[in-house]
Amino acid sequence: MKNFISIDDVADLDKLINKALYYKKNPLADKNLGEGKRIGLLFLNPSLRTRLSTQVAARQLGLEPIIFNVDKEGWALEFEEEAIMSGNTVEHIKDAAPVLGKYFDILCIRTFPSLKNKEDDYSELYIRQFVKYAGIPVVSMESATLHPLQSLTDIITITESMTSDLSIKRPRIVLTWAPHVKPLPQCVANSFSQWINAWGKADFVITHPEDYELDPAFTKGARITHDQDEALKNADFVYVKNWSTYKDYGKIYTNDPEWMLTDEKLRVSNKAKVMHCLPVRRNVELSDEVLDGPYSIVTMQAGNRVWAAQAVLSDILQSQF
């Protein structure tokens, strides 16, 4: 693949999953693949897992990672074409990105949405401009609407769990909305929906309160219900995530604590394994008893971020250099 921005960049998802699981067993199998090459990790927002797992993955392939916290240490970037830069932005992406293309062989970017203007966020202006002007492969470490490294990780984690529990043939996967104290992006939910639909090996259900419908471009193919208890029946995997409203963009309409996932709610499931991308607000999104209980696989899931990143970087190195 040339870039990694969404599922559309993946030619063979099963192959990518298998590659990640191979690296999990053989972390240093391709330790010289990226020798003499540098990877730039640019953060316009905070991160723990993405930042560290991508560095570990890069190093295991022999790449040299260099981190740049653009939001704290860089010039304020302008992304709009033909902008009259008389405001707060100092450097245009048209000037900055080609320079980054000279310093690095692969460029990874993390941006978030504004949650103020849906059209701007859903046009993915920031990541598109990096792709347009950097002249080198670009990997999304989360963009305004999608989080592909997380979604690949999630499917790797589900696949791995199924190989250790052969009773699950075609899993029932439930994505459930959870309360939160502030408006969050739809990225993880959009992306998880997009990838699970493309994977096509699950019965996929999304449950959320009224008015929290996601963009149908990502959810089409899933069954959507406002009845969380009904959705959780016979679930094999439950993915918990908050998101703000999509239609009336970036709002919190309800924070009903009844939507928090608890052991009691999970009783109707098929001893469902519980997933969350982290960071999680304990006892708001998920109860302690679930997170600390035997069915939580959130730490395994976060650990798998390394193998997802390693599989993607390896694919780019093998196909582009």
- For ligand CP, the closer CB: 50 or 207: 50
Main-chain phi, psi angles of 203, to 5 degrees = -90, 115
Is cis: bond before 148, omega within 30 of 0?
Answer: no
Verify binding: residue 150, ligand CP, rule CB under 6 A. Answer: yes
Element (H, E) at 273: strand 273-275
Token code pair at residue 124: 């993915």
- For ligand CP, the closer CB: 224 or 306: 306
CB of 112 to ligand CP, least distance (A): 10
CB of 267 to ligand CP, least distance (A): 28
CB of 159 to ligand CP, least distance (A): 18
Size of the site for ligand CP (CB under 6 A): 10
Pattern 46-75, ligand CP, x by CB under 6 A: -xxxxx------------------------
SS (H, E, C) 123-160: CCHHHHHHHHHHCCCEEECCCCCCCHHHHHHHHHHHHH
Of residues 235-294, those binding ligand CP (CB under 6 A): 277-279
Q: What are the residues whose beta carbons fall under 8 Å from the beta carbon of 184, sequence distance 6 or more?
A: 242, 243, 244
- For ligand CP, the closer CB: 224 or 240: 240
CB of 223 to ligand CP, least distance (A): 25
- For ligand CP, the closer CB: 63 or 152: 152
Pattern 28-47, ligand CP, x by CB under 6 A: -------------------x
Residue 56's identity, in one-letter code, is: V
Q: What are the residues whose beta carbons fall under 8 Å from the beta carbon of 93, sequence distance 6 or more?
A: 77, 78, 79, 126, 129, 130, 133
CB of 43 to ligand CP, least distance (A): 9
Query: What are the b/e assignments for 117-136, b being 16+ CB within 10 Å?
Result: ebeebbebbbbbbbbebbeb
Q: Given the rule CB under 6 A, which residues bind ligand CP?
A: 47-51, 142, 150, 277-279
